[in-house]
Structure 1
Amino acid sequence: MILLVLLASILILIVTIVQYGEQTDDYNILRFSRKENATKHDIEIELKRKTTYPITTSNLAKIFQDRIYDIAYVHKLTVSMYDMDGGLLKSSIPYNFDKKEGTNLSIDIIKELANNSDHKVIKDRDEKGITYQSSYTYITDTRFKRIGILKLQIAQDNEEQEKELREFISRLSLVYLLMFITAISLAYFLSSYITRSIQAISEKIKETRLNQRNEKITLNSASSEINSLIDSYNNMIDQLEESAVKLAKSEREQAWREMAKQVAHEIKNPLTPMRLSVQSFERKFNPEDPTIKEKLSEYSETLIQQIDVMSSIASAFSDFAKMPTQRRERLDVVDIVKHSLDIFSEDYIHYIPQEIELFANLDKTQLIRILTNLIKNATQAITENTATPRIEVKVTSEGNNVKITVSDNGKGIIEQNKELIFEPKFTTKTSGMGLGLAMIKNIIEAYDGSISFTSTENIGTVFTVILPKN
């Protein structure tokens, strides 16, 4: 709206200026034409009078000796008479506005006058804001014989017209300024009315989540287009809720299927040696064998080991499936980390605390589990090719958080495995279920903490754990 009003104002201003210019030009032409006809009529009357001089070219200056000034004064223009070669015969220049002396005609004007069908030439020139219009025609005697050239010149001062134009433009500008302000006000209120509804819809769309119940939009005063958009959004919310329910059900079923497959796979591993042990014992069992007790003891020990493996598998899945219960107590993290490292015998594990004491409200068992898991992974990352193996454990305070870093110079993590490192069941080792990092990630996030890592292949890995003190 504002742009249309602005463009309309500019176009009307241009049209007005052009129109005024054309009207001024037309007025000047008509005015000059009337004066020209009246002047020529007076000259014809003067030539028809009986005079003592014959009507010839050489006598024109004598015939109009005094009369030329009267004609020029009456019609308010400059009258000049020339012979057929362009030589000046008589002029009313003393009465002209610029007080200049007359000059002979140029050859170009004489040729142009002779070649024109109506034997008339009009010339214009502008000088200091004044337009000078000149006409050139032939002077004829009573028998219509050409005896000279008549030049009539008028000075058209357009100051009055330009003043009127300026006044008109100033008034028009005031009108369009008022219209412009009105257009801005209307555009503002209209856009506010439209965008208020759109803003409400936009906020609802930003709040839309797949994993929560979303409210529908209800607007009482809105246009039909906005109501159509609201209906589409509400229908989308209904479909989204249905899709969310189906997706949640599908994810639960998929999770249970994956878990069942993993449990079955892990249980089958110890069942195979147990089966082989039973079959071998049954085939070789001899009650009279003097070493039967030793063989029975060995057989029992093999079964017990496999049963323990199955028990650890069941415990691991049980621990992963349930959110760890927290028993928060005030702990000295520096001291707990130190005692956690005592169970490791590797001499390349170095503890570098940055604080003497660092207290936080944490579960001691879960903190030990986090540390032992990270250090165990670090020791397993150390390979035989590592020249000087080194694992560093650092504890420091960062604001209201405890920061624990475990770094090693082992084989590192390859790029394609970085996104999967915290996924359940993912492991790069030949043994294990791949639940360790996923489990400690659950523990850390239960404290509203975070765990991250940086790793470069064949250079090493750094795990960083952030836990709140309170």
Structure 2
Amino acid sequence: MNEEVNNLANTIASDLHIYTGEGKLQASNRPNIFDKKILSNWINPVAISEIEEKNQSRFLAEEKIGKLIYKSVYLSIPSTNSQSNLGILAVPFFESEAELNSLISDVLSNIFNAFVVIFILFLIVSYFVSKNLTFPFKLLTQKLKTTNLENNEPMYWGSKDEIGLLVNEYNNMLFKLESSKKVLASTEKESAWREMAKQVAHEIKNPLTPMKLTLQHLLRLQSAGQLDDHERLKKSLETLIHQVDALSGIASSFSTFAKMPLPKNDLMNFKEVLNQVIELFKNDERLDLTFKDDSYTDNIPIIGDDKLFGRVIANLIINGVQAVESGKKPEIRIWLWMSDQAVFLEITDNGNGIPPELRDKIFIPNFSTKSQGSGLGLAIAKSGVETAGGKIWFETEMNVGTTFYLTFPLLE
């Protein structure tokens, strides 16, 4: 029996123990374990209970020798002649849980590493593929960003794929844009000339009407033989001279406005220009001019056109005087002050103020609230100030007055 058990144990590479039906050891391939009393010669009582009393054909038990824990599977050996068992076969074994966990970890680690490698390769391939796919779109986007009304170059694409269709449409758009540019330039030129002719005709027509009436009055005086009345003749001639001056002023305004895009920007003393303008108006008895100087210096260096700025300041003073209703003496207050980076000029009048519906139109060319104005004074002022890097704005209150603000950066 022992020889057969040893042969079978060597074949299956496992230990084998055979017990009798009463649970006593019959044979084993490792008898030394039982001889040295490491294991008892009697079977595990739980196993014999499960097999003999509960008629189980097999039972798995957890057993222990000192700190060594292992498992044994107990199998009944049935008799061929009766329902009883000839014996019980025990097969002890150890669970390689740590080895299994290590194997599982290795498998998962290999899977993860393979996934990372595949993912990185996928990113690299995707980068180059997407770069090749998006390059034409980037080129087309750059072309679209630089597209304007001037200096547009068509694109070339060798293949007739979807990108080629886009490039073809882009080139067609450039062709249409060039045609539209010519039409737009022609239309704008005609519109500008039409608007300018309309404005010039309107401005010239206003002084011509009183001139015509004055000449007709002189003809009536001649017919009545009253030209010898020097007082009437003088008054009529003064009226004519005044209207001629108005026409000259209108022509000068249009000429100045036409030259505004090309002012002279030189180093100038803003304080000196302001004093020259104030000197022109301070002896005018028709208005009350006050000047508050908080600059505390005689030299305020800025970049600009001194003649243009002189006309701008004078025009703002004249506008303030004309904004005052008849019967009320104009009061013009001028305040000059400075900060570390800029100089500020405030020109305040005691006029009627600017109505809310007209405040957005004040700096628009050809707009005027006066019957004899050209509507170019404030437009010239705004263009000249902004060309020199300054700013101009206003604050107004109805029946109180208006304040215009000028500011220019100081030259370091």
TM class by shorter chain equals: 0.5 to 0.7
1:308 matched to 2:250? The reply is no
CA contact 1:352–1:392 (8 Å) conserved in 2: no
1:348 matched to 2:290? The reply is yes
1:424 CA displacement = 0.3
Q: Distance in 2 between matches of 1:412 and 1:303?
A: 32
Letter in 2 for 1:273: P
- What aligned pairs does 1:12-411 form with structure 2 within 5 A after superposition? 62=22, 64-66=23-25, 80-82=47-49, 96-98=62-64, 157-210=96-149, 212-218=150-156, 224-283=161-220, 285-286=222-223, 288-289=225-226, 291-323=228-260, 326=263, 331-345=268-282, 346-360=288-302, 362-380=304-322, 391-394=333-336, 396=338, 403-408=343-348
1:183 CA displacement = 2.4
Segments of 5+ residues of structure 2 without an aligned counterpart are: 1-11, 34-42, 85-90, 283-287
**Structure 2 match to 1:426:** 367
**Compared CA separation, residues 266 and 376, structure 1 to 2 (3 A):** same
Q: Distance in 2 between matches of 1:398 and 1:382?
A: 35
Residue 423 of structure 1 aligns to a residue whose secondary structure is: coil
TM-score calculated relative to the size of structure 2: 0.68
Q: Distance in 1 between matches of 2:57 and 2:303?
A: 121
Letter in 2 for 1:190: V
TM-score calculated relative to the size of structure 1: 0.61
Letter in 1 for 2:306: K
For each residue in 1:415-460, what CA deviation from the matched residue of structure 2 results, as whole angstroms up to 9, or x when unmatched?
654543321012344541210011233334554x333325364585
Residue 80 of structure 1 aligns to a residue whose secondary structure is: helix
Q: Distance in 2 between matches of 1:162 and 1:83?
A: 32
For each residue in 1:241-265, what CA deviation from the matched residue of structure 2 results, as whole angstroms up to 9, or x when unmatched?
2222222222222122221221222
Residue 466 of structure 1 aligns to a residue whose secondary structure is: strand
Letter in 2 for 1:433: S
1:316 CA displacement = 1.9
1:269 CA displacement = 1.7
Residue 294 of structure 2 aligns to a residue whose secondary structure is: strand
1:373 CA displacement = 1.9
| Percent identity between the two aligned chains | 28
Letter in 2 for 1:275: K
Letter in 1 for 2:110: R
Letter in 2 for 1:358: I
Alignment RMSD, CA only? 5.0
**Compared CA separation, residues 421 and 357, structure 1 to 2 (3 A):** same
**Compared CA separation, residues 241 and 68, structure 1 to 2 (3 A):** farther
**Structure 2 match to 1:439:** 380
Q: Distance in 2 between matches of 1:290 and 1:455?
A: 51
CA contact 2:301–2:410 (8 Å) conserved in 1: no
For each residue in 1:262-291, what CA deviation from the matched residue of structure 2 results, as whole angstroms up to 9, or x when unmatched?
122222222322333344444454454484
For each residue in 1:141-160, what CA deviation from the matched residue of structure 2 results, as whole angstroms up to 9, or x when unmatched?
97879xxxxxx999865444
CA contact 2:58–2:75 (8 Å) conserved in 1: no
